[in-house]
A and B are shown apart, each in its own frame.
Chain A
Amino acid sequence: MAKHETPLIDQLSSGPWPSFVDDLKQEAESRAKNDKNVDFQIPQDCVDDLLGVLELSYKHGRTHWKHGGIVGVFGYGGGVIGRYCDQPEMFPGVAHFHTMRVSQPAGKFYTTKYLKDLCDLWEFRGSGITNMHGSTGDIIFIGTTTPQLEEIFYELTHTFNQDLGGSGSNLRTPSDCLGQARCEYACYDTQAICHELTNEYQDELHRPAFPYKFKFKFDGCPNCCVASIARSDMSFIGTWRDDIRIDQEAVQAYVGGEFPSNAGAHAGRDWGPFDIEKEVINLCPTGCMKYEDKKLMINTKECTRCMHCINVMPRALRPGNDKGCSILVGAKAPILDGAQMGSLLIPFIKVEEPYDEIKEVIESIWDWWMEEGKNRERLGELIKRQGFQRLLEETGIKAVPQHVQEPRTNPYIFWKEDEVPGGWERDVNEFRKYHLR
């Protein structure tokens, strides 16, 4: 028998998509029955109360969580999001209901042994409710009490060799696409660098020392499966510098209809037979492709590596062999000055252990932003405020046309004094000798 009546959210049980309400209910029931005799460290009926408070929010059309909450573990300045219900007497099971961010393995591959052990820990010391995963990448444990935080952290580090993720004005948990683990497009090992930089910058991740939050994301190619260009302050997007590798026989197999276009992604509809002119040559954004005498040709110099032709004919076309990544900076959501996507800073850089060159770029950006960034100013906003040129100066990067979508249209151009012959110190009386008042 459920603790609270939930007529509104019960309506989310039906329909084909997995119902979170039914899942929460099965967890509430499992805790009530407690077949395994778990000595629950937070209220046994906390999931019932979570359902109850959610039902109340559905009734009121408003959240029932109090503002903020500052909790954590000693030694760290983040990793736990405190949360308290604003109706603790009605729903004592969620009076405290803090979230813990647990640092996920790059690529989000797991063994069941690891996940099951984690489930046992979380059922025992928390609500048993999770997010798999948070938008930034962490495993999210939703709902525990303050006294359990240190206990969970102790277990995580001692038994699981496993740390918390980031929160607050610091480096947040980096994440990546699955990269070379299971994709033929990946231009570098996204998981290796994601893991390496996460470890390199543990201090910056656990102890907030920045003006605001900062995120890394690693995409193996310009398809951007982890959306780094939109969702990280520093975005690493795999690319290559040499020729796209063409297998002409395989091209013929596409033209002949033997291989499905785009690996079969459009199989749900009859789009007619594959037409290489219409679907590849004419859609190429730079028009750098030709198909003549049953031969596909690409003018590499004019290719911007958008991935379209490779995506359409994955068995015939492959990224080149001279691989690396582009680095783009400044992406953020709208608050405060408007949304930004990453802007191209480094067109090409090799991605090779121990990543020293990349670390130098990161650290020069941090040196600048940590000194100049205003309180709660994202990197993207600092770049807007002080100018892209300033970013180039601070990172020691020479301006190139690839840095802009187009040159400026206004002529409000700053020059540095030493760029102008004679400098800026001038005597108006000297001027007046030739130009009378």
Chain B
Amino acid sequence: MAFISSGYNPDKPMENRITDIGPRKYDEFYPAVIAKNKGKWLYHEILEPGVLVHVSETGDEVYTVRVGGCRLMSVTHIREICEIADKHCDGHIRFTTRNNIEFMVDSKDKLQPLKDDLSSRKFPGGSLKFPIGGTGAGITNIIHTQGWIHCHTPATDASGTVKATMDVLFSDFQDMRLPAHLRVSMACCLNMCGAVHCSDIAILGYHRKPPMLDHEYLDKMCEIPLAIAACPTAAVKPAKIELADGTKVNSVSVNKERCMFCGNCYTMCPSMPLADDVGDGIVLMVGGKVSNRISNPKFSKVVVAFIPNEQPRWPTMTATIKRIVEAYAKDANKYERLGEWAERIGWERFFEKCELEFTHHLIDDFRDPAYYTWRQTSNFKF
């Protein structure tokens, strides 16, 4: 492993430095049929799960095959995607905002060979490399985060929970039998990178124990005022601590009764770790959406306060998600998103139909707005 220079000269770091050039321009990468028909599209149709056609006012057509992507992927896998695109799509490809992969061809006769090729490719363990689907009223890819692969603040894993969930929901990736599309998202801590706060069903990593305090190092590692200001419930305050050897140090104290384990102090201060094997687990939220279709965008609501981490396959979590999906599929009206359904039938009925236990954890108690989530009416169902 001999070091090979790129041409960068560490002795003159600012020499020949190119900066502020931004991304490559989007239209360098357009397939010909896209470049020609941009802004001229008339309509589209979903021909079958995972396959779309767009028709232009010029009469041109573009066929799109959408396939599931793991998001976390190797260069070997990307090269295989490229090999397929070279073979079928004149070397063009795109990725969606939910990390699926789209292969486009400009005529119908190119569709079947592409689909056959994609469907034939499997990993050694038997999983499909390029499952076709993710369109219409079904379940598409899960927006997710880093988890134990790369982040320092997670309360669960992202790639694993997502794989386990997509395996359980897989038939709905390749079908369009639901009342409306159902978006599942995942975040490994409540920083909620991604879309957890606005998804039909959301998987959220959560802690249940206050941070540990590394007093000996805290003042050396952290800006104490930032750790204090990081707390939404003001559970952190400055403290003078006497170490075992008699040294007095500046540190913080945590009022454990006030701490709700968000982990934001750890984000700001490395001496306040809180991860725990049995304390950490999953919160499930439901009923969020971002589109403005019929009803306004909605936040997702917490409906399961805790499911333990059961790696590698999180069976309790996936079974609970499956139960919610099936109750919704059975009961909701055509075009009705999960949140619209829950609001129409009432949350008391939602819990009943989904066979979820309602516990005190689900009642909002965060500041003034909590009041508006209680029920100021005698209208309820028994």
Contact = CB atoms under 8 A, between A and B. Distances in A.
A279 interface: yes
Contact of A307 (B18, B71, B159, B291): B291
Interface in A1-39: 8-9, 11-27, 30, 39
B117 interface: no
Contacts of A202: 19-22
A274 to B, nearest CB: 10
B371 interface: no
Given A11-B313, A132-B78, A268-B138, A97 B297 contact: no
Q: Name which of A103, A182, A186 has the most chain B CB atoms within 10 A of its CB.
A: A182
Nearest to A116: B82
B99 A283 contact: no
Given A23-B72, A265-B135, A338-B366, A151 B26 contact: no
Contacts of B292: 222-224, 229, 237, 304-307
6 contacts: A8-B312, A50-B149, A147-B3, A271-B334, A338-B369, A341-B297
Contact of A14 (B62, B126, B262, B297): B126
Interface of B: 1-8, 10, 13-14, 16-31, 34, 38-39, 41-49, 54, 62, 64, 68-79, 81-83, 85-86, 91-97, 99, 101, 104, 123-131, 135-138, 143, 145, 147-154, 157, 159-160, 163-164, 166-167, 170, 173, 175-178, 181, 190-198, 226, 229-230, 232, 262, 264, 266, 270, 273, 275-278, 280, 288, 290-295, 297, 299, 309, 311-313, 334-335, 366-367, 369
B54 A182 contact: yes
Interface residues of A, number: 149
A154 B176 contact: no
B82 A336 contact: no
B209 to A, nearest CB: 12
B52 to A, nearest CB: 8
Given A99-B150, A161-B21, A195-B23, A180 B290 contact: no
Interface stretch (A52-60, A293-301, A357-365): A52-60
Contacts of A129: 72-75
Interface in A261-300: 262-269, 271, 279, 283, 285
Interface string A61-83: 11111111000001110000001
Contact of A130 (B39, B78, B275): B78
B92 A183 contact: no
Contact of B128 (A16, A104, A130, A315): A16
B32 to A, nearest CB: 12
Interface string A198-231: 1100110110000000000000001111110111
A70 B177 CA distance: 48
A337 interface: yes
A150 B177 contact: no
B148 A57 contact: yes
Given A20-B70, A23-B77, A58-B148, A227 B198 contact: yes
Contacts of B24: 105, 114, 160-162
A113 interface: yes
A42 B1 CA distance: 8
Given A112-B91, A119-B75, A341-B299, A23 B70 contact: yes
B189 to A, nearest CB: 10
B358 to A, nearest CB: 22
A67 B78 contact: no
Nearest to A29: B76
Given A54-B149, A60-B277, A336 B176 contact: no
Contact of A67 (B46, B72, B152): B152
A13 B21 CA distance: 41
A58 B21 contact: no
Given A128-B74, A158-B18, A230-B197, A61 B163 contact: no
B335 A68 contact: no
Interface in A141-197: 142-143, 147, 150-155, 157-158, 160-163, 173, 175, 177-178, 180-184, 186, 189, 191, 194-195
B73 A265 contact: no
Contact of A182 (B64, B74, B229): B64
A16 B131 contact: yes
Contact of A184 (B43, B68, B288): B43
